[in-house]
Structure 1
Amino acid sequence: MPALRIHGYALALSFCLITFIAASQRTDPSEVNALIDIKKSLIDRKHNLKNWNKGDPCTRNWTGVWCFDKTGDDGYLHVREIYLMTMNLSGNLSPQLGQLSHLEIMDFMWNNLTGTIPKEIGNIKTLKLLLLNGNMLSGSLPDELGNLPNLNRFQVDENQLSGSLPDSLANMTSVKHLHLNNNSFSGQLPSTLSKLSNLMHLLVDNNNLSGNLPPEYSMLKGLAILQLDNNNFSGNGIPSTYANLTRLVKLSLRNCSLQGAIPDFSSIPKLTYLDLSWNQFTGPLSSNKLADNMTTIDLSNNLFNGSIPRNYSYPHLQKLSLANNLMSGSIPASIWQNMSFGVKDKLIIDLHNNSFEDVLGNLNPPANVTLRLSGNPICKNSNTQSVGQYCGPEEDKAAQDSTNSTVCPVQSCPFNDFYEYAPNSPVPCYCAAPLRIGYRLKSPSFSYFAPYRSSFEHYITDSLKLHLYQLSVDSVAWEEGPRLRMYLKLFPSYNDSRSNVFNESEVRRISSLFTSWRFPRTDFFGPYELLNFTLLGPYENIIIHSEKGKVSVGIKVAVAIAAAACALAISAIIILLITRRRMKYHKKISRKSTTNLSIKIDGMKSFTYKELALATNKFNISTKVGQGGYGNVYKGILSDESFVAVKRAEAGSLQGQREFLTEIELLSRLHHRNLVSLIGYCNEEGEQMLVYEFMPNGTLRDWISGRSRKTKGSLNFSTRLRIAMGAAKGILYLHTEANPPIFHRDIKASNILLDSKFTAKVADFGLSRLVPDLDEEGTAPKYVSTVVRGTPGYLDPEYLLTHKLTDKCDVYSLGIVYLELLTGMQPISHGKNIVREVNMARQSGTVYSIIDSRIGLYTSECLEKFLTLALSCCQDHPEERPSMIDVVRTLEDIIAMLPEAETVFSDVSLDSSGNIAPPSSSASASTSASHVTREEQHMSSYVSGSDLVSDVIPTIVPR
Structure 2
Amino acid sequence: MEMKLVIQFFVLFIFIFCFIPHASAQSTHPDEVAALQSLKTKLVDPMNHLVNWRSKGDPCASNWTGVLCYLKLSTDGFFHVRELQLLNMNLSGTLTPEVGNFSRLQILDLMWNRLTGTIPKEIGNLSSLILLLLNGNQFSGSIPDELGFLVNLDRLQLDENNLSGTLPKSLANMSNCKHFHLNNNSLSGQLPPEFSQLPKLAHLLVDNNNLSGKLPPEYSALAHLMILQLDNNQFAGAEIPESYQNLSRLVKLSLRNCSLGGAVPDLSKMPYLSFIDLSWNKFTGAVPSNKLSDNVTTINLSHNNLNGSIPESFSLLPALQMLSLLNNSINGSIPAGIWHNKSFNSTARLLVDLRYNLLSIISGDLNPPQNVTLRLRGNPVCIRANIQNIHLFCDSDAGGNGTSDGPTTPAACPITACPVDQYFESVPEAPTCFCAAPIRIGYRLKSPSFSYFPPYKYDFVSYITHTLKLDRYQLSVDSYAWEEGPRLRMYLKLFPDISKTDHIFNESELRYIRHIYTTWHFPGSDLFGPYELLNFTLLGPYSYVNLGTAKSGISKSFLAAISVVVITSAVIVSVIVTVLLMRRKNRSRQLSRKNFSSKISMKVDGVKEFTFRELSQGTRNFNSSAQVGRGGYGKVYRGVLANGTVVAVKRAEEGSLQGKLEFLTEIQFLSRLHHRNLVSLIGYCSEYGEQVLVYEFMPNGTLREWLSGKSERTLNFVMRLRIALGASRGILYLHTEANPPIFHRDIKASNILLDANLTTKVADFGLSHLAPVMDDEGSVPHHISTIVKGTPGYLDPEYFLTHQLTDKSDVYSLGVVFLELLTGVPPISHGKNLVREVNAAQKSGSLFDIIDTRMGTYPSECVERFIALGLRCCQDKPEMRPCMLDVVRELENVLQLVPDSMTMSDTTSLQSCSSSSTTNPSLNKFARMTSDVSGSDLTSTVLPTLAPR
Q: CA separation in 1, counterparts of 2:126 and 2:72?
A: 20
2:35 matches 1:34: yes
CA drift of 1:125 comes to 0.2
Q: 5 Å matches for 1:882-921?
A: none
Change (3 A) 1:263 1:50: same
**Does the CA-based 8 Å contact 2:118-2:141 persist in structure 1?**
yes
CA RMSD between the two structures? 2.4
Candidates 432, 439, 444, aligned match of 1:427: 432
DSSP-derived class of the 1:326 partner: coil
Distance (Å, rounded) in 2 between the aligned partners of 1:357 and 1:550: 74
The question of 1:392 aligning with 2:395 is answered yes
Query: Aligned partners of 1:474, 1:208: CA distance in 2, in Å?
Result: 36
Please, which runs of 5 or more residues in structure 1 have no aligned partner?
A: 1-18, 565-959
Specify which of 119, 122, 125 is matched with residue 124 of structure 2.
122
> d(CA) in 2 for partners of 1:559 and 1:106?
30
User: Offset at 1:562?
Assistant: 10
Q: Which residue of 2 aligns with 1:232?
A: 234
Q: How many residues align?
A: 542
Between 1:231-240 and 1:396-405, the stretch displaced more is 396-405
Q: Which moved more, 1:402-411 or 1:207-216?
A: 402-411
User: What amino acid is aligned across from residue 401 of structure 1 in structure 2?
Assistant: G
Match among 405, 414, 429 for residue 410 of structure 2: 405
- The reply on whether 1:318 has 2:327 as its aligned counterpart is no
Contact 2:266 2:290 in 1 (8 A): yes
Aligned residue identity for 2:134: L
Does the 8 Å contact 1:65/1:81 carry over to 2?
A: no
**In the aligned structure 1, how far is the partner of 2:289 from the partner of 2:554?**
67
* Aligned equivalent of 2:253: 251
Residues 872-951 of structure 1: pairs in structure 2 closer than 5 A: none
Q: Which amino acid aligns with 1:452?
A: Y
Post-superposition Cα deviations, 1:38-61, rounded to whole Å, max 9, x if no partner, equal: 112212222110134563225525
Give, in whole Å, the separation in 2 of the partners of 1:24 and 1:420.
Answer: 48
Residues 163-219 of structure 1, C-alpha deviation per residue, up to 9 Å, x if partnerless? 000100101111000000000000001110000110000000000000000000000
Task: State whether structure 2 residue 461 is matched by structure 1 residue 460.
Answer: no
- Alpha carbons 1:368, 1:397 under 8 Å: kept: no
Aligned twin of 1:446: 450
Secondary structure of 1:389 counterpart: helix
Q: Where does 1:551-700 land on structure 2 (aligned, <5 Å)?
A: 558=559
Q: Does structure 2 conserve the Cα–Cα contact (< 8 Å) formed by 1:25 and 1:56?
A: no
- The verdict on how the C-alpha distance between 1:65 and 1:419 changes in structure 2, with shifts beyond 3 A counting, is closer
Matches of 1:556 and 1:390 in 2, distance apart?
80
CA contact (8 A) 1:252 1:276 kept: yes
- After superposition, the C-alpha distances for 1:428-458 in whole angstroms (9 at most, x for unaligned) are 2x11100000000000000000000000000
Give the Cα–Cα distance (whole angstroms) in 1 for the partners of residues 314 and 43 of structure 2: 56
1:260 corresponding residue in structure 2: 262
Secondary structure at the residue paired with 1:416?
Answer: helix
Q: CA offset at residue 311 of structure 1?
A: 1.9
* One-letter amino acid of the structure 1 residue matched with residue 373 of structure 2: T
The one-letter code of the counterpart of 1:27 is T
2:354 pairs with 1:366: no
Partner of 1:331: 334
TM-superposed CA distance for 1:397, in Å, is: 5.7
Deviations 1:843-874 (CA, angstroms, capped at 9, x unpaired): xxxxxxxxxxxxxxxxxxxxxxxxxxxxxxxx
Q: Is the 8 A contact 1:337 1:365 kept in 2?
A: yes
Tell me which amino acid in the other structure corresponds to 1:510. Answer: I
- Percent identity over the alignment is 58
**Match of residue 74 from structure 1:** 76
Q: State the AA in 2 paired with 1:214.
A: P
Aligned partners of 1:275, 1:179: CA distance in 2, in Å? 19
Asked if 2 retains the 8 angstrom alpha-carbon contact of 1:67 and 1:77, the reply is: no
The structural deviation recorded for 1:545 is 3.6
Other structure's SS at 2:356 match? coil
Q: Aligned partners of 1:233, 1:191: CA distance in 2, in Å?
A: 14
Match of 1:220 in 2: 222
Per-residue deviation, residues 19-54 of structure 1 (Å, max 9, x unmatched): 999865421111111111111221222211013456
1:157-556 to structure 2, matched below 5 A, reads 157-313=159-315, 314-393=317-396, 394=398, 395-396=400-401, 401-406=406-411, 408-414=413-419, 416=421, 418-428=423-433, 430-498=434-502, 500-545=503-548
1:378-406 deviations in Å (ceiling 9; x for gaps) = 11133433222111121236675332334
TM-score (norm 2): 0.55
Q: CA deviation at 1:555?
A: 7.0
Show CA shifts across 1:568-615 (max 9, x none).
xxxxxxxxxxxxxxxxxxxxxxxxxxxxxxxxxxxxxxxxxxxxxxxx
Seen in structure 2, the aligned counterparts of structure 1 residues 74 and 20 have a Cα distance that, compared at 3 Å, is closer
* SS state at 1:386 partner: coil
How do residues 749-898 of structure 1 correspond to structure 2 at under 5 angstroms? none
- Gap regions ≥5 residues in structure 2: 1-19, 566-949
Cα deviations by residue, 1:142-178 (Å, 9 ceiling, x for unpaired): 0000000000000011100000001001011110000
Aligned equivalents of 1:261 and 1:553: distance in 2?
Answer: 70
**Contact 1:93 1:118 (C-alpha < 8 Å) held by counterparts:** yes
Pairs within 5 Å for 1:94-173: 94-173=96-175
Partner of 1:750: none
C-alpha change, 1:23 and 1:289, in structure 2 (3 Å) is closer
> 1:535: Cα distance to partner?
1.2
The amino acid across from 2:245 in the alignment is: A
- Matched residue type, 1:279: N
SS at match of 1:357: strand
> Which secondary structure state, in structure 2, belongs to the residue aligned with residue 440 of structure 1?
strand
For 1:269, what is the secondary structure of its paired residue? coil
Residue type of the alignment partner of 1:426: P
Amino acid at match of 1:44: D
Deviations along 1:392-421, one digit per CA (max 9) or x if unpaired, are 121236675332334634443125251110
In structure 2, how many angstroms separate the alpha carbons of the residues matched to 1:73 and 1:58?
20
Counterpart amino acid of 1:201?
H
Post-superposition shift, 1:321? 0.3
Q: Distance in 1 between matches of 2:79 and 2:554?
A: 13
Normalised by the length of structure 1, the TM-score is 0.55
| Structure-1 residue corresponding to 2:652 | none
SS in 1 for 2:122: helix
8 A contact 2:412–2:428 mirrored in 1: no
CA distance in 1 between partners of 2:393 and 2:78 (Å): 72
Q: After the TM superposition, which of the residue ranges 549-558 and 479-488 deviates more from structure 2?
A: 549-558
Tell me the alpha carbon deviations over residues 779-824 of structure 1, each in whole angstroms, 9 at most, x when there is no partner.
Answer: xxxxxxxxxxxxxxxxxxxxxxxxxxxxxxxxxxxxxxxxxxxxxx
Question: Counterpart of 1:451 in structure 2: which amino acid?
Answer: P
How far 1:541 moved relative to its partner?
Answer: 1.1
Superimposed CA distance per residue, residues 451-485 of structure 1 (whole angstroms, 9 cap, x where no aligned partner): 00000000000010001110000111000100000
1:279 is displaced (CA, Å) by 0.2
